[in-house]
Structure 1
Amino acid sequence: MKAVDREILRLAVPAFLALVAEPMFLLSDAAIVGHLGTPELAGLGVAAVVLQTVVGLCVFLAYGTTASVARHLGAGDLRAALAEGVDGVWLAVVIGTVATVGGIALTPVLVGAFDTGSEVAGHAETYLAIAFLGTTPLLVMLATTGVLRGLQDTRTPLLVAVVGNGLNIALNVLLVYGLGLGIAGSAIGSVVAQVLSAAWLVVVVVRAARAHDAPLSPDRAGILAAAHAAVALVIRTLALRACLLVGTYAVTRVGTQGTDVNVATHQIAITLWTFLAFALDAIAIAAQALTGRALGGDDVEGTRRLTRRMIRWGWGSGVVAGVGLAVASPFLGALFTSDPEVRELLVPVLLVAALGQPLAGVVFVLDGVLIGAGDGAFLAWAGMVVLAAYAPAALWAATLPHGLVAVWVAMTFVFMGARGVLLSWRARGDAWIVTGASVGR
């Protein structure tokens, strides 16, 4: 088991650091743009929500590619692994091109949906119209990262993320303040950093493809197959994101305290939950790569053994995260706000979230295992069931005394609990264990 543990750590640690680095693009933009003024920062916030939604819905480019490449690697066919990876990159180019053209054309409509004042809307439109030019590079980064993860390489994406973020900060400072371009300079700097980061990853993948005589030209059948396999993961992602939106909506319906206090507290808690999810999701990324490789190599017993071991890792990581969050809960509020009401309300919310971390660790691992196995159809179905269970629970919780805490109880034990029950039930069965180089394509 020590060898298995070392392999999990070899993949998970760089994956975690890369996951933490990814949000730094927008965080560094916020830190720099924030000093221009509140309207500029608010405009960036609106634009960031739109961009994060578009890119978030395309996370299948990383997940699906990781699974398919890892399967071929396990089957000993590196050429086919890289060929499927290249198909995923071309799919990213196609989707990115459509998203870029559509996003730029619809920028005024997308910003207008937030009903902000004219000054904030103007800044949001300026940033978003330029930032959409980075959509294709961002999606290519997702796909190429998926290829490398499938090849069991999580270090290269980490290196690119670190260098890319450093370049983004330097360019932002230069363009925003050095050249006086304001919020437009921030968007330009981010796009340039994204283009160079994507180019770096493409060079690595292309070099590997050439070394193993894998085709680089777009293959229509391969791209369509990759798109078809992605549909289920898109449905899964939409369902899970809808759950989070329902939770936020439920918080706005809580009437025991001022809405601003509830929403602000919820936002801080979600931010901390998301950060901890990065740590737990790193094990899931290792699960995707290792499960795909084991099934591709027809190693059913090895797959079962890996799954059991990674569940233990997920549980253990969740316990550590939960204890750390519980211990730090009385002090974390001061990092985010000076409002005493928010600080006071944040403590019980974080304690509830802390209780759910071990469960979250197991859920993320099983999600990664089933993604690595190519079990997208089940994950899509499960996501819809979870949404159907969680939505009424969250809305009902908002009507209870201490409504915000009750909503978080629903999120922790209904949202994550329903996922845990469904994924554990699936993992105990045999339907997801499909061996061979290809599945779901």
Structure 2
Amino acid sequence: MDGVAAQQGRRRPGPDRPRPRRRRASSGIRVQRHRHRRGSGGATAGVALTDDAGVRRIATLTVSALAVLIAPPLYLLLDLAVVGRLGGRELAALGVGTLVLSVISTQLTFLSYGTTARSARRFGAGDRAGAVEEGVQASWIAMAVGALLVAIAYPSAPAIMRVLVGAASEDSAVVAADAAQWLRIAMFGVPLILLSMAGNGWMRGVQDTRRPVIYVVVGLSVAAVLVVGLVHGLGPFPRLGLPGSAVANVVGQGVTGTLFAVRVIREASAESKGYAPDRSIIVAQLTMARDLVVRSLSFQICFVSAAAVAARFGVAQVAAHQLVLQLWEFMALFLDSLAIAAQALVGAALGGGRLRVADTVARRVTGVSLVAATAMGAIFAAGAGLIPRIFTSDDAVLDAIGVPWWFFVGMLPIAGVVFALDGVLLGSGDAAFLRTATLTGALVGFLPLIWLSLVFDWGLAGVWSGLVVFMLVRLATVVWRIRSGRWRQAGAERK
């Protein structure tokens, strides 16, 4: 520990002299309060940080992030299973409704990723109060954007669903109406979803690994009980059918969002910070948000285009494509959790001006991510003849799945490096570079190959070749950025 007090000749504590008080951050970076001389005499409070960027620390942050990331998809599986017993129409309506909600949530992940980066830098600089203030301002953005989305989506829900589902037949008209009803209720949970994102962001920044998991699990547990009771009218609950699913979602999100809100209020009070909106911080957060939203839209365009092209090659091909893509998205959650660990640790290191620690984190997280992704790739390679049969018994789909499967296996080690370095760059606040790199990969590598595969009838091999090139372009750009060292300077300047 680079203790300033030791350098100034402070006496060791004895039996008649109390030991200096320590304040331990909830995560593993220890914060020690001490007094140091300034100028000719007076003393003021200072902060010295002990860095813990080992594999165990990375694993702790990764497990916490993974639990938060994986809990909502697991709840969605329960929701689908419960609503599926009502019938095919209700299940289709729920599927379309959750798709819209998912697209909205995906585009607004800047509330968690951007806030993590900014909070971590201030926390690393010893300014925990400033890190909490980032959470307060992100919460204001969450509530404002959430209210705006509710105001837009509530009246337009029927039109949105008619576009997505169509109304050519009686069945499709019923599904569109049911989906619109579900969405109108569920949208009231959006401000709470965004509030939870903001809460996750600043708490990751100060490396609080336990509370976010507890808050998310408590909220989803309440929702799980309610969805079973309200959809089918079990026990003391009324039978609401499909709307019961939306009500359960809103209540569960309300519990989680409220827990995050209470925590940020308590922290702000403890740090003697107010709750009023701060225009300068909000503008800075929205500037970073712009880059992250453009980056996220690039991903969406790529994967929607891939699905659209795959669908033109036949039912078996699109089914095979979607099945492998779901496995890819599952692996992305795991690799994202490692990237989040990199964000928190790199942001804290750069916030304190500890560039060597940031370099160490980048190397270690990348190494762990590469090893984990390669190991998973080996498992999927060994199970190529067995794993797909868990999901389908259709011979045509099983025949078609062989093509994307090996592209998927080969992409995993590449993704291990790319996701980790994405987290490093996000932690340094280098969102503008990531935006440009992702757009370059989409426009130069992915989209041309996707549409050429349609023109020349390359099938799924063409589609997944586009995905591989997309990942390779991203790999080249992020590795170049790390090797250039400019990301460290950008992060240090933004602390």
Higher mean C-alpha displacement, 173-182 vs 340-349: 340-349
Distance 1:436 1:131 in 2: 38
Q: Is the 8 A contact 2:162 2:173 kept in 1?
A: no
Q: String of CA shifts for 1:214-265, please: whole Å, max 9, x gaps.
A: 22222233223321221111111111221111211221233xxxx2111111
Q: String of CA shifts for 1:264-312, please: whole Å, max 9, x gaps.
A: 1111111111111111111100011011001001011111121111111
Counterpart in the other structure of 1:224: 283
Distance 1:24 1:365, change over 3 A: same
- Once the two structures are superposed, the pairs formed by residues 73-112 of structure 1 within 5 Å of their partners are 73-112=123-162
Distance 2:491 2:440 in 1: 29
Counterpart in the other structure of 1:439: 494
Counterpart in the other structure of 2:251: 192
Distance 2:98 2:219 in 1: 18
Counterpart in the other structure of 1:240: 299
Higher mean C-alpha displacement, 392-401 vs 346-355: 392-401
Q: Does 2:74 align with 1:18?
A: no
Higher Cα radius of gyration: 2
Q: CA RMSD in A?
A: 1.8
Distance 1:428 1:171 in 2: 51
Q: Which amino acid is 1:335 matched to?
A: I
Q: Does 2:433 align with 1:378?
A: yes
Q: Is the 8 A contact 1:296 1:435 kept in 2?
A: no
Partner of 1:329, secondary structure, is coil
Counterpart in the other structure of 1:133: 188
Q: Which amino acid is 1:59 matched to?
A: T
Distance 1:228 1:357 in 2: 32
Q: Is the 8 A contact 1:233 1:376 kept in 2?
A: yes
Partner of 2:144, secondary structure, is helix
1:435 deviates by 6.5
1:363 deviates by 0.5
Partner of 1:434, secondary structure, is helix
Q: Is the 8 A contact 2:373 2:412 kept in 1?
A: yes
**Please, which runs of 5 or more residues in structure 1 have no aligned partner?**
none
Q: String of CA shifts for 1:341-381, please: whole Å, max 9, x gaps.
A: 11232233222201110110111011111111111111111
Q: Is the 8 A contact 2:219 2:254 kept in 1?
A: no
Higher mean C-alpha displacement, 152-161 vs 234-243: 152-161
Counterpart in the other structure of 1:394: 450
Q: Does 2:105 align with 1:55?
A: yes
Relative contact order, higher structure (CA 8 A, sep 6+): 1
Q: Which amino acid is 2:309 matched to?
A: A
Higher helix share: 1
Q: Is the 8 A contact 1:62 1:144 kept in 2?
A: yes
Q: Which amino acid is 2:482 matched to?
A: A
Counterpart in the other structure of 1:32: 82
**Please, which runs of 5 or more residues in structure 2 have no aligned partner?**
1-50, 167-171
Counterpart in the other structure of 1:151: 206
Higher mean C-alpha displacement, 8-17 vs 160-169: 160-169
Q: Is the 8 A contact 1:175 1:189 kept in 2?
A: yes
TM-score by length of 2: 0.84
Q: Which amino acid is 1:16 matched to?
A: L
Partner of 2:488, secondary structure, is coil
Distance 1:54 1:207 in 2: 29
Q: Is the 8 A contact 2:137 2:277 kept in 1?
A: yes
Counterpart in the other structure of 1:122: 177
Higher mean C-alpha displacement, 112-121 vs 324-333: 324-333
Distance 1:123 1:18 in 2: 30
Counterpart in the other structure of 2:260: 201
TM-score by length of 1: 0.94
Counterpart in the other structure of 2:394: 339
Counterpart in the other structure of 1:4: 54
Partner of 1:432, secondary structure, is helix
1:24 deviates by 2.7
Counterpart in the other structure of 1:409: 465
Counterpart in the other structure of 1:367: 422
Q: Is the 8 A contact 2:429 2:491 kept in 1?
A: no
Partner of 1:76, secondary structure, is coil
Higher mean C-alpha displacement, 325-334 vs 356-365: 325-334
1:28 deviates by 2.1
1:336 deviates by 2.2
Counterpart in the other structure of 2:122: 72
Distance 1:398 1:353 in 2: 20
Q: Does 2:359 align with 1:304?
A: yes
Higher mean C-alpha displacement, 107-116 vs 184-193: 107-116
Distance 2:343 2:296 in 1: 16
Distance 1:98 1:61 in 2: 15
